[in-house]
Chain A
Amino acid sequence: SAVISQKPSRDICQRGTSLTIQCQVDSQVTMMFWYRQQPGQSLTLIATANQGSEATYESGFVIDKFPISRPNLTFSTLTVSNMSPEDSSIYLCSVTPTGVVNEQYFGPGTRLTVT
């Protein structure tokens, strides 16, 4: 498996501002994903972060609200833009390591509170 870190681990932000979350992996990975876990809820896939190209978003999520970058095979960022209290969630990065099929490993998550 891969070792995944996320920064920040938690933050409290004011509505209308933006926060960028970083995901760093200790080895090159094939796939990187971003999920959201709203309070008391399960996980929902936001998008797949594609290396060197635009991310692929799931239904209900758009690039203007959740811009994603993946400049290389070990790093990705997710920005939560123009935040509202409804964006308060845990945001998790996950990866599929190179050579692994159909498995995802998750980072520790970023707990975001919007006031």
Chain B
Amino acid sequence: AQSVTQLDSHVSVSEGTPVLLRCNYSSSYSPSLFWYVQHPNKGLQLLLKYTSAATLVKGINGFEAEFKKSETSFHLTKPSAHMSDAAEYFCVVSDRASLSGNTPLVFGKGTRLSVIA
């Protein structure tokens, strides 16, 4: 069965320093991988997705992620954190049909990113 493990429940960085949010996945097939961000009291926003094209994926707001099949990882990075990046980040995998016959999204437990001024 597909699953996602976000290795850190909380990451705290100083403004202007790099961000690394770690994600490992388990999948029996060729997965699609996503990162979503959830700001307080707001909906989920798609940051970026990987679907078997380039392994380095660039997303919005300066974020990027690299798909490493050998390590079953899809870590999210950003060179320089901004205060507005403080939010909850979810790593998501999708690889096969659920009971519904559609490809479900399986969410990690989330990583809360705090940015310190």
Contact = CB atoms under 8 A, between A and B. Distances in A.
Report if A and B associate in a common complex.
yes
Interface of A: 1, 4, 31, 33, 41-45, 47-48, 56-59, 92, 94, 101-109
Given A42-B107, A43-B107, A102-B32, A48 B46 contact: no
Interface residues of B, number: 24
Contacts of A47: 100
Nearest to A42: B107
Given A56-B100, A57-B99, A108 B42 contact: yes
B46 A56 contact: no
16 contacts: A42-B108, A43-B44, A43-B107, A45-B98, A45-B105, A57-B100, A58-B98, A58-B104, A92-B43, A92-B44, A94-B44, A102-B32, A102-B51, A102-B103, A103-B46, A104-B46
